[in-house]
Structure 1
Amino acid sequence: MLEEEKKTEETPAEEPKAEETPAEEPKAEEPKAEVNLSGTAKDILDSVKNMTVLELSELVKALQDEFGVVAAAPAAAPAASGGSGDGDSGDQSSDDDTVNLTLKSFGANKIAVIKVVRTLTSLGLKEAKDLVEGAPSPVKEGVPKAEAEEGKKQLEEVGAEAELS
């Protein structure tokens, strides 16, 4: 009988382990969906995989220059979102009082402008640098007029040209 009791005690101990298995299932979701690429696209992807961080940075800059896009622009939009959520009437009045702060040029002191952009936004160093170098570019969108004016003042103090719209 002691052996039977030990077996029943072991069985419940094994069941929680079986319950832990579903916790591992989300890891199975990690594999990415395969995309059918042409031979040229596969070659490019393999080349990118073998590049250093510096080479990738230079590639991103070259792609931005070639196609006239800024990779950091989508990162700036979430920083601008975030309202009080008090109701529809509050949202309508905030739309009337909000403006966009745009960096027109960074002037002679690019590093100082990057620092100011980082303090005004939640961007990292690389994203802020790309935003500044991609001028004219939006720094903050849909912000209260007073906040945008303060940001413009800070940018102009370090030699940048900024505008509110």
Structure 2
Amino acid sequence: MSRNSITFIKFIRSLSTEARTIKVERIADELLNLNRFERHDFTVLWRLKMGLDRYGAPVAGPGPLGPSLSGPAAADATAASAEKTAFDIKLEKYDSAAKIKIIKEVRSFTDLGLKEAKDLVEKVPCVLKKGLTKEEANPIIDKLKELGATVVLE
């Protein structure tokens, strides 16, 4: 464990029950009520937002918690962090004649019901799916474009 992790754990242990906020307690309760798939989705999202790579090593950047780099090392680190790995599929517009087919397609790659998928498609421009790799997103985008939708990868 790193020194920062140990310090953080000691800090958390030193907090009394009274010092914990209702918000934190509510979040903890909600996390405990997640099913297995929701827990997996949460951990993936959490790791992305915390800047962790696949194996859990933190991505260090300049600032109080990470070392600052200069020279060629800084250019390499900036180039590596600029490369995007998670993409969102955004529906820009669609052909009104193909609306039903597009709703069915949206339902096929999301866990939405008919009403939710219809509402989502009708509020264009909107993000249909978040956090996909390019390999996962390309077949979906191709299918939606075949149906008459204008879709972008963000």
Q: Which has the higher helix share?
A: 1
TM-score bracket, normalised by the shorter chain, equals: 0.3 to 0.5
TM-score (norm 2): 0.48
TM-score (norm 1): 0.45
Please tell me whether Structure 1 or Structure 2 has the larger radius of gyration of its CA atoms: 1
